[in-house]
Amino acid sequence: MGVVTRSTDKWEWPDSLDAVVAAPDHHSVLLENDQVRVLEARVEGGDTVPVHVHRWPAVQYIVSFADFVRRDADGKLLTDSRAIDLPRGKPFVLWSEPVAPHTLENVGVELIHVIVVELKSPPSLREHHSCTLAQRAIPSRLRAFGKTLLPIMAALGSDPGQPQVSAVHNIIKG
C-alpha cells in the first residue's frame, strides 16, 4: 500500500524520507485513510532502520521492546533508551510528536515491534489534544485507545494482553 495524501500543514522533509518509503523493510501500512495511518514497525535485534521521518504525531503501542539508539541524519545521538526510564513491561503505550530525519538501531536482542497510529488531522485540531490536556486524562484516553487496538493485534496474530500505560509524554521524540 502506498503513501496517500499529505495534510496541508508545513513540512520541510521530502516524501522520499517517509518511514514507509525510506525504510520499507521496517514499516508496513496496515490501514490508511484521510484521518490516520496505522503502521506496523519491526526492528530485529542488531538491526538499524535507515534514515526516515515520521510526519504526523502518533500513538505508539509497543508490543515488544528492546533497547535502542536513535540518531539524527548526521549520526548525532538523540536518544539512548538505556539512559532513560522507560516502562519495561509489555505491552505499553507512548505518545510521539512528528520526528525529523533519524535512524533507529536496536541495540538489544529482542524484536522491537510497534503498532503506530499516526494522526493526520490538521494542526489546529491536534492542538486541543496535546500538552494542554490534564495529565490524568492522558492515561484514560490511552487505555481506551489500547482497547481499540485489540482487534488489530488479534488480526496480526498477537495477544497484546493489557497495555501498561505510560504517563511519559513525548519520551522518544526526536
Q: Is the pTM of this model over 0.85?
A: no
Q: Confirm whether 107 is domain-assigned.
A: yes
Inside any domain, residue 46? yes
With vertex at residue 120, the alpha carbon angle to CA 20 and CA 78, rounded to the nearest 5 degrees, is 60
Q: Does an H or E element contain 19, and which? A: helix 19-22
- Full domain range(s) for residue 77: 15-165
Residue 1 lies in a domain: no
d(CA 116, CA 61): 6
Considering the domain boundaries, does residue 7 fall inside one? no
Whole-angstrom distance, CA of residue 153 vs CA of residue 161: 10
pLDDT for 134: 42
Does residue 170 belong to any structural domain of this protein?
A: no
pLDDT tens per residue across span 56-113: 999 999 999 999 999 999 999 999 999 988 777 778 888 999 999 999 999 999 999 9
Residue 127's CATH number = 2.60.120.10
Residue 110 within any structural domain of the chain: yes
Classify residue 104: in a domain, yes or no.
yes
Structural domain count, the chain: 1
Q: What single letter denotes the amino acid at residue 105?
A: E
Residue 8 lies in a domain: no
- What gap in Å lies between CA 164 and CA 142, rounded to an integer? 10
Alpha carbon distance 92, 97 (integer Å): 17
